[in-house]
Chains A and B, each alone.
Chain A
Amino acid sequence: MIHTYKNNGYNIVLDVNSGAVHIVDDLVFELIPIMENDRMMSDEDLSSRLGGRYPIGDISEAASEIRELADSGALYTPDDFETYVESFTRGKLDHPVVKALCLHIAHDCNLRCRYCFAGEGEYHGRRALMSYEVGCRALDLLIDKSGGRKNLEVDFFGGEPTMNFEVVKKLVAYGRSKEAETGKKFRFTLTTNGMLLTDEVLDFANKEMHNLVLSIDGRREVNDRMRPTAGGRGSYDVILPRFRKAAESRGQSNYYVRGTYTHYNTDFAKDVLHLHDLGFEQISVEPVVADPSEPYALKDEDVPELLEQYDILAGEIIKRRKEGRFINFFHFMIDLEGGPCVAKRLSGCGAGGEYLAVTPWGDLYPCHQFVGEEKFLLGNVYDGIVNKKITEEFGSANVYTKPECRDCFAKFYCSGGCMANSYHATGSINGNYETGCRLQRKRIECAIMIKAALSEEEGDTGS
Protein backbone atom coordinates (compact mmCIF):
# COMPACT_ATOMS: atom_id res chain seq x y z
CA MET A 1 0.00 0.00 0.00
CA ILE A 2 1.34 3.39 -0.95
CA HIS A 3 0.14 6.91 -0.30
CA THR A 4 1.30 9.69 -2.58
CA TYR A 5 0.70 13.39 -2.12
CA LYS A 6 2.08 16.78 -2.99
CA ASN A 7 2.59 19.40 -0.34
CA ASN A 8 4.52 22.66 -0.30
CA GLY A 9 6.39 21.75 -3.47
CA TYR A 10 7.39 18.26 -2.32
CA ASN A 11 6.32 15.00 -3.95
CA ILE A 12 5.97 12.57 -1.09
CA VAL A 13 5.49 8.81 -1.22
CA LEU A 14 4.68 6.81 1.89
CA ASP A 15 5.20 3.09 1.80
CA VAL A 16 2.51 2.61 4.38
CA ASN A 17 3.33 -0.87 5.64
CA SER A 18 7.08 -0.47 6.04
CA GLY A 19 7.01 3.13 7.27
CA ALA A 20 9.42 4.25 4.54
CA VAL A 21 9.13 7.85 3.35
CA HIS A 22 10.43 8.89 -0.06
CA ILE A 23 10.77 12.35 -1.53
CA VAL A 24 10.67 11.94 -5.29
CA ASP A 25 10.79 13.91 -8.52
CA ASP A 26 7.77 14.37 -10.80
CA LEU A 27 8.63 11.37 -12.95
CA VAL A 28 8.87 8.92 -10.07
CA PHE A 29 5.77 10.44 -8.51
CA GLU A 30 3.84 9.45 -11.61
CA LEU A 31 5.55 6.09 -12.09
CA ILE A 32 5.08 4.67 -8.60
CA PRO A 33 1.28 4.22 -8.83
CA ILE A 34 1.58 2.87 -12.40
CA MET A 35 4.14 0.24 -11.37
CA GLU A 36 2.30 -0.84 -8.23
CA ASN A 37 0.64 -3.77 -9.96
CA ASP A 38 3.31 -4.46 -12.57
CA ARG A 39 6.82 -3.65 -11.50
CA MET A 40 8.35 -5.26 -14.58
CA MET A 41 6.42 -3.18 -17.10
CA SER A 42 8.68 -2.30 -20.03
CA ASP A 43 10.16 1.16 -20.43
CA GLU A 44 8.20 1.57 -23.65
CA ASP A 45 4.91 0.72 -21.95
CA LEU A 46 5.70 3.06 -19.08
CA SER A 47 6.51 5.82 -21.55
CA SER A 48 3.22 5.19 -23.26
CA ARG A 49 1.34 5.37 -19.97
CA LEU A 50 3.05 8.70 -19.28
CA GLY A 51 2.00 10.06 -22.64
CA GLY A 52 5.54 10.33 -23.95
CA ARG A 53 6.24 13.33 -21.74
CA TYR A 54 9.58 12.04 -20.39
CA PRO A 55 12.77 10.86 -22.17
CA ILE A 56 12.91 7.06 -22.28
CA GLY A 57 16.35 7.05 -20.64
CA ASP A 58 15.00 8.91 -17.61
CA ILE A 59 12.07 6.51 -17.37
CA SER A 60 14.40 3.53 -17.46
CA GLU A 61 16.57 5.01 -14.71
CA ALA A 62 13.62 5.99 -12.50
CA ALA A 63 11.92 2.62 -12.94
CA SER A 64 15.14 0.93 -11.94
CA GLU A 65 15.29 2.97 -8.73
CA ILE A 66 11.67 2.08 -7.96
CA ARG A 67 12.39 -1.63 -8.40
CA GLU A 68 15.42 -1.30 -6.14
CA LEU A 69 13.28 0.19 -3.38
CA ALA A 70 10.66 -2.50 -3.78
CA ASP A 71 13.31 -5.24 -3.62
CA SER A 72 14.70 -3.75 -0.42
CA GLY A 73 11.29 -3.77 1.29
CA ALA A 74 10.79 -0.01 1.16
CA LEU A 75 8.03 0.15 -1.45
CA TYR A 76 4.83 -1.77 -2.20
CA THR A 77 5.22 -3.57 1.12
CA PRO A 78 2.21 -5.78 1.93
CA ASP A 79 0.40 -5.54 5.25
CA ASP A 80 1.49 -8.61 7.19
CA PHE A 81 0.59 -7.34 10.64
CA GLU A 82 -3.04 -8.33 11.21
CA THR A 83 -2.31 -11.71 12.81
CA TYR A 84 0.54 -10.22 14.80
CA VAL A 85 -1.61 -7.41 16.17
CA GLU A 86 -4.51 -9.73 16.98
CA SER A 87 -2.12 -11.95 18.88
CA PHE A 88 -0.64 -8.95 20.65
CA THR A 89 -4.02 -7.55 21.70
CA ARG A 90 -5.13 -11.02 22.81
CA GLY A 91 -2.03 -11.23 24.97
CA LYS A 92 -2.85 -7.89 26.53
CA LEU A 93 -6.35 -9.10 27.36
CA ASP A 94 -5.05 -12.34 28.87
CA HIS A 95 -2.44 -10.50 30.93
CA PRO A 96 -3.83 -7.02 31.49
CA VAL A 97 -1.51 -4.28 32.59
CA VAL A 98 -2.46 -0.80 33.79
CA LYS A 99 0.30 1.76 33.42
CA ALA A 100 -1.40 5.14 33.24
CA LEU A 101 -4.14 6.87 35.20
CA CYS A 102 -6.01 10.05 34.61
CA LEU A 103 -6.85 11.13 38.16
CA HIS A 104 -9.89 13.38 38.27
CA ILE A 105 -8.63 15.16 41.30
CA ALA A 106 -11.42 17.77 41.16
CA HIS A 107 -14.79 17.62 39.52
CA ASP A 108 -15.08 21.33 39.94
CA CYS A 109 -13.69 24.27 38.03
CA ASN A 110 -13.14 27.99 38.38
CA LEU A 111 -13.70 28.60 34.68
CA ARG A 112 -16.85 28.06 32.65
CA CYS A 113 -15.37 26.98 29.33
CA ARG A 114 -18.24 26.68 26.90
CA TYR A 115 -16.89 23.61 25.12
CA CYS A 116 -15.88 21.66 28.22
CA PHE A 117 -16.52 17.94 27.71
CA ALA A 118 -16.54 17.72 31.48
CA GLY A 119 -19.70 19.85 31.64
CA GLU A 120 -17.89 22.75 33.36
CA GLY A 121 -15.95 20.36 35.54
CA GLU A 122 -18.71 18.15 36.86
CA TYR A 123 -18.81 15.48 34.14
CA HIS A 124 -22.58 15.59 34.20
CA GLY A 125 -22.47 14.43 37.81
CA ARG A 126 -21.87 16.19 41.08
CA ARG A 127 -19.15 18.57 42.15
CA ALA A 128 -16.57 16.67 44.14
CA LEU A 129 -12.93 16.63 45.15
CA MET A 130 -10.88 13.45 45.32
CA SER A 131 -9.82 12.53 48.83
CA TYR A 132 -6.25 11.57 49.67
CA GLU A 133 -7.48 8.12 50.60
CA VAL A 134 -9.15 7.49 47.23
CA GLY A 135 -6.06 8.81 45.44
CA CYS A 136 -3.79 6.48 47.40
CA ARG A 137 -5.96 3.48 46.50
CA ALA A 138 -5.76 4.54 42.85
CA LEU A 139 -1.95 4.67 42.98
CA ASP A 140 -1.89 1.32 44.79
CA LEU A 141 -4.06 -0.17 42.05
CA LEU A 142 -1.74 1.23 39.42
CA ILE A 143 1.33 -0.25 41.09
CA ASP A 144 -0.44 -3.55 41.66
CA LYS A 145 -1.71 -3.89 38.09
CA SER A 146 1.36 -2.59 36.29
CA GLY A 147 3.13 -5.93 35.99
CA GLY A 148 6.66 -5.48 34.71
CA ARG A 149 6.20 -1.89 33.56
CA LYS A 150 8.63 0.47 35.21
CA ASN A 151 7.33 3.84 34.04
CA LEU A 152 3.90 4.71 35.43
CA GLU A 153 2.04 7.80 34.30
CA VAL A 154 -0.39 9.80 36.38
CA ASP A 155 -2.16 12.88 35.11
CA PHE A 156 -3.74 15.20 37.67
CA PHE A 157 -6.79 16.25 35.73
CA GLY A 158 -10.14 17.79 36.32
CA GLY A 159 -12.13 19.98 36.34
CA GLU A 160 -9.31 22.03 37.70
CA PRO A 161 -6.83 20.00 39.77
CA THR A 162 -5.29 23.00 41.54
CA MET A 163 -8.64 23.42 43.33
CA ASN A 164 -7.56 20.33 45.26
CA PHE A 165 -3.85 21.08 45.33
CA GLU A 166 -3.09 19.84 48.86
CA VAL A 167 -4.25 16.38 47.82
CA VAL A 168 -2.13 16.58 44.65
CA LYS A 169 0.94 17.32 46.78
CA LYS A 170 0.22 14.51 49.20
CA LEU A 171 -0.42 12.00 46.42
CA VAL A 172 2.86 12.88 44.72
CA ALA A 173 4.62 12.30 48.04
CA TYR A 174 2.78 9.00 48.44
CA GLY A 175 3.74 7.91 44.93
CA ARG A 176 7.38 8.86 45.45
CA SER A 177 7.42 6.95 48.74
CA LYS A 178 6.47 3.81 46.85
CA GLU A 179 9.06 4.09 44.10
CA ALA A 180 12.03 2.58 45.92
CA GLU A 181 10.22 -0.44 47.31
CA THR A 182 8.38 -1.26 44.08
CA GLY A 183 11.01 -0.31 41.49
CA LYS A 184 8.45 1.86 39.73
CA LYS A 185 8.97 5.38 38.45
CA PHE A 186 6.06 7.81 38.47
CA ARG A 187 5.77 10.41 35.75
CA PHE A 188 3.28 12.99 36.92
CA THR A 189 1.50 15.50 34.72
CA LEU A 190 -0.56 18.47 35.85
CA THR A 191 -3.17 19.91 33.51
CA THR A 192 -4.27 23.36 34.65
CA ASN A 193 -6.21 26.38 33.46
CA GLY A 194 -3.75 28.63 35.30
CA MET A 195 -6.24 30.52 37.44
CA LEU A 196 -4.58 29.20 40.61
CA LEU A 197 -1.08 28.73 39.23
CA THR A 198 0.70 30.53 42.05
CA ASP A 199 4.45 30.53 42.60
CA GLU A 200 3.96 27.78 45.15
CA VAL A 201 2.10 25.58 42.67
CA LEU A 202 4.63 26.29 39.93
CA ASP A 203 7.62 25.55 42.17
CA PHE A 204 6.02 22.26 43.12
CA ALA A 205 5.20 21.44 39.50
CA ASN A 206 8.74 22.20 38.39
CA LYS A 207 10.08 19.86 41.02
CA GLU A 208 7.65 16.98 40.58
CA MET A 209 5.78 17.19 37.27
CA HIS A 210 7.24 15.41 34.26
CA ASN A 211 4.87 17.44 32.10
CA LEU A 212 2.77 20.54 32.61
CA VAL A 213 -0.22 21.22 30.37
CA LEU A 214 -1.37 24.83 30.39
CA SER A 215 -4.78 25.53 28.87
CA ILE A 216 -5.07 28.63 26.70
CA ASP A 217 -6.74 28.93 23.30
CA GLY A 218 -4.64 31.61 21.59
CA ARG A 219 -5.62 35.19 20.85
CA ARG A 220 -7.25 37.10 23.70
CA GLU A 221 -10.65 37.39 22.03
CA VAL A 222 -10.64 33.72 21.02
CA ASN A 223 -9.63 32.55 24.47
CA ASP A 224 -11.99 34.80 26.38
CA ARG A 225 -15.00 33.95 24.26
CA MET A 226 -14.77 30.27 25.18
CA ARG A 227 -12.87 30.36 28.48
CA PRO A 228 -14.63 32.87 30.77
CA THR A 229 -14.54 32.83 34.55
CA ALA A 230 -17.59 31.92 36.59
CA GLY A 231 -18.28 35.66 36.74
CA GLY A 232 -18.20 35.96 32.96
CA ARG A 233 -14.84 37.74 32.66
CA GLY A 234 -12.06 36.68 30.35
CA SER A 235 -9.22 34.52 31.68
CA TYR A 236 -6.49 35.51 29.20
CA ASP A 237 -5.01 38.40 31.16
CA VAL A 238 -4.92 36.39 34.37
CA ILE A 239 -3.30 33.26 33.01
CA LEU A 240 -0.91 34.60 30.39
CA PRO A 241 1.78 36.02 32.71
CA ARG A 242 1.66 32.86 34.79
CA PHE A 243 2.01 30.62 31.76
CA ARG A 244 4.92 32.63 30.41
CA LYS A 245 6.65 32.34 33.75
CA ALA A 246 5.93 28.61 33.82
CA ALA A 247 7.32 28.05 30.32
CA GLU A 248 10.50 30.00 31.04
CA SER A 249 11.00 28.39 34.44
CA ARG A 250 10.87 24.97 32.79
CA GLY A 251 13.45 25.96 30.20
CA GLN A 252 10.85 25.87 27.40
CA SER A 253 10.52 22.10 27.63
CA ASN A 254 8.38 19.46 29.33
CA TYR A 255 5.25 21.58 29.08
CA TYR A 256 2.61 22.48 26.51
CA VAL A 257 0.33 25.41 26.13
CA ARG A 258 -2.76 23.65 24.94
CA GLY A 259 -5.71 25.17 23.21
CA THR A 260 -8.92 24.14 21.53
CA TYR A 261 -10.18 25.55 18.26
CA THR A 262 -13.85 25.67 17.37
CA HIS A 263 -16.22 26.86 14.67
CA TYR A 264 -15.54 30.37 15.99
CA ASN A 265 -11.83 30.35 15.11
CA THR A 266 -11.44 28.26 12.00
CA ASP A 267 -8.40 30.49 11.30
CA PHE A 268 -6.68 28.77 14.22
CA ALA A 269 -3.19 28.95 12.70
CA LYS A 270 -3.23 32.55 13.90
CA ASP A 271 -3.78 31.31 17.43
CA VAL A 272 -0.87 28.88 17.26
CA LEU A 273 1.41 31.59 15.89
CA HIS A 274 0.09 34.08 18.45
CA LEU A 275 1.15 31.71 21.21
CA HIS A 276 4.56 31.36 19.59
CA ASP A 277 4.87 35.13 19.27
CA LEU A 278 4.17 35.35 22.99
CA GLY A 279 7.25 33.22 23.61
CA PHE A 280 5.81 29.72 23.93
CA GLU A 281 7.77 27.04 22.08
CA GLN A 282 5.70 23.94 22.95
CA ILE A 283 2.21 24.36 21.57
CA SER A 284 -0.80 22.12 21.08
CA VAL A 285 -4.04 23.44 19.61
CA GLU A 286 -6.68 20.84 18.87
CA PRO A 287 -10.12 20.59 17.29
CA VAL A 288 -13.03 20.83 19.68
CA VAL A 289 -14.93 17.66 20.59
CA ALA A 290 -18.57 18.63 20.65
CA ASP A 291 -22.10 17.55 19.99
CA PRO A 292 -22.88 18.63 16.41
CA SER A 293 -25.85 20.66 17.65
CA GLU A 294 -23.60 23.02 19.59
CA PRO A 295 -23.02 26.34 17.82
CA TYR A 296 -19.27 26.14 18.40
CA ALA A 297 -18.99 22.59 16.98
CA LEU A 298 -16.92 22.21 13.82
CA LYS A 299 -19.11 21.87 10.72
CA ASP A 300 -18.41 19.87 7.59
CA GLU A 301 -18.14 23.11 5.67
CA ASP A 302 -15.34 24.25 8.01
CA VAL A 303 -13.08 21.40 7.01
CA PRO A 304 -11.56 22.84 3.80
CA GLU A 305 -10.49 25.95 5.67
CA LEU A 306 -9.14 23.88 8.57
CA LEU A 307 -7.06 21.79 6.17
CA GLU A 308 -5.70 24.96 4.60
CA GLN A 309 -4.86 26.28 8.05
CA TYR A 310 -2.64 23.27 8.70
CA ASP A 311 -0.83 23.98 5.43
CA ILE A 312 -0.36 27.62 6.38
CA LEU A 313 0.88 26.62 9.79
CA ALA A 314 3.28 24.03 8.41
CA GLY A 315 4.78 26.57 6.03
CA GLU A 316 5.20 29.12 8.78
CA ILE A 317 6.75 26.59 11.14
CA ILE A 318 9.35 25.67 8.52
CA LYS A 319 10.09 29.36 7.97
CA ARG A 320 10.48 30.07 11.66
CA ARG A 321 12.58 26.97 12.27
CA LYS A 322 14.90 27.93 9.43
CA GLU A 323 15.23 31.38 10.98
CA GLY A 324 16.36 29.72 14.18
CA ARG A 325 13.09 30.34 16.02
CA PHE A 326 12.18 26.98 17.51
CA ILE A 327 8.53 25.98 17.61
CA ASN A 328 7.08 22.58 18.31
CA PHE A 329 3.45 22.05 17.33
CA PHE A 330 2.22 18.90 19.05
CA HIS A 331 0.14 17.60 16.18
CA PHE A 332 3.02 17.96 13.73
CA MET A 333 5.36 15.98 15.95
CA ILE A 334 6.40 12.77 14.33
CA ASP A 335 9.28 10.54 15.25
CA LEU A 336 10.19 8.72 12.06
CA GLU A 337 13.33 6.98 13.31
CA GLY A 338 12.69 6.50 17.01
CA GLY A 339 8.92 6.16 17.01
CA PRO A 340 6.91 3.33 18.42
CA CYS A 341 6.89 -0.31 17.35
CA VAL A 342 4.10 -1.77 15.23
CA ALA A 343 2.39 -3.27 18.27
CA LYS A 344 1.97 0.20 19.74
CA ARG A 345 1.04 1.77 16.43
CA LEU A 346 -1.77 -0.60 15.57
CA SER A 347 -3.24 -1.67 18.88
CA GLY A 348 -5.16 1.45 19.80
CA CYS A 349 -4.79 4.19 22.36
CA GLY A 350 -4.90 1.95 25.43
CA ALA A 351 -8.14 3.34 26.87
CA GLY A 352 -9.91 0.82 29.04
CA GLY A 353 -6.75 -1.25 29.29
CA GLU A 354 -3.40 0.26 30.12
CA TYR A 355 -5.04 3.66 30.59
CA LEU A 356 -7.92 4.34 32.98
CA ALA A 357 -9.65 7.40 34.38
CA VAL A 358 -10.50 7.64 38.08
CA THR A 359 -13.34 9.82 39.38
CA PRO A 360 -13.09 11.76 42.67
CA TRP A 361 -14.96 8.97 44.44
CA GLY A 362 -12.85 6.22 42.92
CA ASP A 363 -14.90 4.91 40.01
CA LEU A 364 -12.93 3.65 37.01
CA TYR A 365 -13.73 4.47 33.38
CA PRO A 366 -11.93 3.63 30.11
CA CYS A 367 -10.72 7.22 29.78
CA HIS A 368 -11.50 10.77 30.84
CA GLN A 369 -13.93 11.24 27.95
CA PHE A 370 -16.16 8.37 29.09
CA VAL A 371 -16.41 9.53 32.70
CA GLY A 372 -20.02 9.95 33.69
CA GLU A 373 -21.35 7.60 31.03
CA GLU A 374 -22.58 4.85 33.30
CA LYS A 375 -22.59 2.07 30.72
CA PHE A 376 -18.81 2.41 30.59
CA LEU A 377 -18.28 2.16 34.35
CA LEU A 378 -15.53 -0.45 34.80
CA GLY A 379 -15.32 -0.76 38.57
CA ASN A 380 -13.60 1.19 41.31
CA VAL A 381 -10.29 1.55 43.08
CA TYR A 382 -11.38 -0.78 45.89
CA ASP A 383 -12.76 -3.69 43.88
CA GLY A 384 -10.69 -3.18 40.74
CA ILE A 385 -12.14 -3.78 37.31
CA VAL A 386 -15.35 -5.78 37.49
CA ASN A 387 -16.93 -4.98 34.12
CA LYS A 388 -14.76 -7.28 32.00
CA LYS A 389 -17.07 -6.97 29.01
CA ILE A 390 -16.04 -3.35 28.53
CA THR A 391 -12.34 -4.05 28.95
CA GLU A 392 -12.66 -6.88 26.42
CA GLU A 393 -14.37 -4.55 23.98
CA PHE A 394 -11.80 -1.78 24.37
CA GLY A 395 -8.84 -4.14 24.52
CA SER A 396 -9.88 -5.90 21.33
CA ALA A 397 -10.21 -2.69 19.34
CA ASN A 398 -7.38 -2.07 16.93
CA VAL A 399 -7.02 -0.76 13.40
CA TYR A 400 -8.13 -4.08 11.93
CA THR A 401 -11.43 -4.05 13.84
CA LYS A 402 -12.22 -0.64 12.32
CA PRO A 403 -13.29 -1.15 8.72
CA GLU A 404 -12.45 2.40 7.60
CA CYS A 405 -8.95 2.17 9.06
CA ARG A 406 -7.79 -0.88 7.13
CA ASP A 407 -7.11 0.97 3.91
CA CYS A 408 -6.14 4.28 5.44
CA PHE A 409 -2.53 5.40 5.15
CA ALA A 410 -2.72 7.09 8.55
CA LYS A 411 -3.31 3.93 10.55
CA PHE A 412 0.29 3.60 11.70
CA TYR A 413 0.28 7.15 13.03
CA CYS A 414 -3.12 7.50 14.71
CA SER A 415 -3.63 3.90 15.87
CA GLY A 416 -7.25 4.01 14.80
CA GLY A 417 -8.00 7.33 16.42
CA CYS A 418 -9.74 8.33 19.61
CA MET A 419 -12.29 5.74 20.71
CA ALA A 420 -14.36 8.37 22.51
CA ASN A 421 -14.60 10.41 19.33
CA SER A 422 -15.59 7.28 17.42
CA TYR A 423 -18.22 6.39 19.96
CA HIS A 424 -19.72 9.85 20.14
CA ALA A 425 -19.80 10.19 16.35
CA THR A 426 -21.03 6.72 15.43
CA GLY A 427 -22.22 4.93 18.55
CA SER A 428 -19.35 2.44 18.32
CA ILE A 429 -15.75 2.59 19.46
CA ASN A 430 -14.95 0.82 16.18
CA GLY A 431 -16.60 3.52 14.11
CA ASN A 432 -14.83 6.48 12.54
CA TYR A 433 -15.25 10.15 13.33
CA GLU A 434 -14.76 11.24 9.75
CA THR A 435 -14.17 14.93 10.40
CA GLY A 436 -11.49 14.03 12.92
CA CYS A 437 -9.96 11.56 10.46
CA ARG A 438 -9.77 14.17 7.70
CA LEU A 439 -7.95 16.54 10.03
CA GLN A 440 -5.68 13.78 11.30
CA ARG A 441 -4.65 12.72 7.80
CA LYS A 442 -3.82 16.31 6.93
CA ARG A 443 -1.73 16.75 10.07
CA ILE A 444 0.27 13.63 9.25
CA GLU A 445 0.87 14.78 5.69
CA CYS A 446 2.06 18.16 6.95
CA ALA A 447 4.24 16.61 9.65
CA ILE A 448 6.06 14.43 7.14
CA MET A 449 6.43 17.33 4.71
CA ILE A 450 8.04 19.37 7.49
CA LYS A 451 10.49 16.51 8.08
CA ALA A 452 11.30 16.51 4.39
CA ALA A 453 11.81 20.27 4.32
CA LEU A 454 13.94 20.48 7.43
CA SER A 455 16.04 17.45 6.50
CA GLU A 456 16.75 19.06 3.15
CA GLU A 457 17.92 22.18 4.96
CA GLU A 458 20.06 20.19 7.35
CA GLY A 459 21.50 18.14 4.50
CA ASP A 460 20.62 14.79 6.00
CA THR A 461 17.83 12.30 5.62
CA GLY A 462 15.41 13.26 8.27
CA SER A 463 17.07 12.34 11.52
Chain B
Amino acid sequence: MKHIRTLNTRDYKRSTVKGGCGECQTSCQSACKTSCTVGNQSCENKNR
Protein backbone atom coordinates (compact mmCIF):
# COMPACT_ATOMS: atom_id res chain seq x y z
CA MET B 1 0.00 0.00 0.00
CA LYS B 2 1.14 3.51 -0.74
CA HIS B 3 -0.44 5.38 2.14
CA ILE B 4 -0.49 2.75 4.86
CA ARG B 5 2.17 0.58 6.47
CA THR B 6 0.75 -2.20 8.62
CA LEU B 7 2.80 -3.77 11.40
CA ASN B 8 2.66 -7.50 11.92
CA THR B 9 0.30 -8.25 14.78
CA ARG B 10 -1.52 -11.23 16.22
CA ASP B 11 -5.13 -11.42 15.06
CA TYR B 12 -7.30 -11.37 18.17
CA LYS B 13 -10.21 -13.18 16.60
CA ARG B 14 -8.09 -16.11 15.50
CA SER B 15 -6.65 -16.30 19.02
CA THR B 16 -10.08 -17.29 20.35
CA VAL B 17 -9.89 -20.59 18.51
CA LYS B 18 -7.08 -22.12 20.53
CA GLY B 19 -6.64 -19.47 23.21
CA GLY B 20 -7.00 -19.55 26.96
CA CYS B 21 -4.56 -22.39 27.75
CA GLY B 22 -3.25 -20.38 30.71
CA GLU B 23 0.42 -21.33 30.38
CA CYS B 24 1.63 -17.76 29.92
CA GLN B 25 3.11 -15.75 32.73
CA THR B 26 0.84 -14.22 35.33
CA SER B 27 0.88 -10.47 34.99
CA CYS B 28 2.33 -9.62 38.37
CA GLN B 29 5.04 -12.27 38.25
CA SER B 30 7.26 -10.14 36.05
CA ALA B 31 8.90 -6.92 37.12
CA CYS B 32 5.68 -5.27 37.93
CA LYS B 33 3.78 -5.45 41.17
CA THR B 34 1.74 -2.29 40.94
CA SER B 35 -0.01 -2.16 37.58
CA CYS B 36 -1.36 -4.66 35.11
CA THR B 37 0.38 -5.22 31.82
CA VAL B 38 -0.55 -8.16 29.63
CA GLY B 39 0.33 -6.81 26.19
CA ASN B 40 3.98 -7.52 26.88
CA GLN B 41 3.53 -11.13 27.84
CA SER B 42 4.47 -13.83 25.38
CA CYS B 43 2.05 -16.54 24.38
CA GLU B 44 3.29 -19.96 25.45
CA ASN B 45 0.72 -22.00 23.60
CA LYS B 46 2.74 -24.19 21.23
CA ASN B 47 -0.36 -25.25 19.33
CA ARG B 48 -1.78 -21.85 18.55
Interface residues, chain A, with chain B CB atoms under 8 Å away:
17-25, 27-28, 61-62, 65-66, 68-69, 73-74, 77, 80-81, 84, 88, 97, 99-100, 102, 117, 149-151, 153, 155, 157, 187, 189, 191, 211, 213, 256, 258, 260, 282, 284, 286-289, 330-331, 333-345, 348-351, 354-355, 367-369, 412-419, 421, 436, 440, 444, 447, 451-452, 455-456, 460-463
Please judge, given known A-B contacts A150-B23, A355-B29, A369-B34, whether A336 and B40 are in contact too, CB under 8 Å: no
A–B complex contacts, Cβ < 8 Å, 28 sampled: A19-B9, A19-B10, A19-B12, A21-B6, A22-B4, A23-B4, A27-B3, A28-B4, A99-B22, A151-B23, A189-B29, A258-B32, A282-B31, A330-B30, A335-B39, A336-B8, A337-B8, A339-B40, A341-B16, A342-B12, A343-B16, A344-B19, A349-B28, A355-B29, A415-B38, A417-B36, A421-B34, A460-B8
Contacts of B20 in A (CB 8 A): 88, 341, 343-344
Given contact pairs A23-B4, A333-B39, A343-B15, a sample of 11 additional A-B residue pairs in the complex whose CB atoms are under 8 Å apart: A19-B11, A27-B3, A149-B22, A151-B44, A330-B37, A337-B8, A338-B10, A342-B19, A369-B33, A418-B35, A440-B35
Chain A residue nearest in CB terms to B39: A413
State the main secondary structure of chain B at its contact with A.
Answer: loop
Please judge, given known A-B contacts A345-B39, A415-B38, whether A20 and B26 are in contact too, CB under 8 Å: no
CA distance A444 to B38 in the complex (A): 11
Chain B residue nearest in CB terms to A149: B22
Shortest distance between the CB of B2 and any CB in chain A (Å):
6
Query: Nearest 6 CB-CB pairs, A to B?
Result: A341-B19, A462-B7, A413-B39, A333-B40, A343-B20, A256-B31
CA distance A438 to B22 in the complex (A): 28
Contacts of A350 in B (CB 8 A): 26-28
Contacts of A461 in B (CB 8 A): 5-8
Contacts of B1 in A (CB 8 A): 65, 68
Shortest distance between the CB of B8 and any CB in chain A (Å):
5
Shortest distance between the CB of B19 and any CB in chain A (Å):
3
Chain B residue nearest in CB terms to A367: B28
Chain A residue nearest in CB terms to B38: A415
A416 touches B31 (CB 8 A): no
A339 touches B33 (CB 8 A): no
Shortest distance between the CB of A352 and any CB in chain B (Å):
12
Please judge, given known A-B contacts A88-B20, A351-B28, A415-B27, whether A69 and B4 are in contact too, CB under 8 Å: yes
The interface centre, meaning the residue of A74, A337, A341, A348 with most chain B CB atoms within 10 A of its CB, is A341
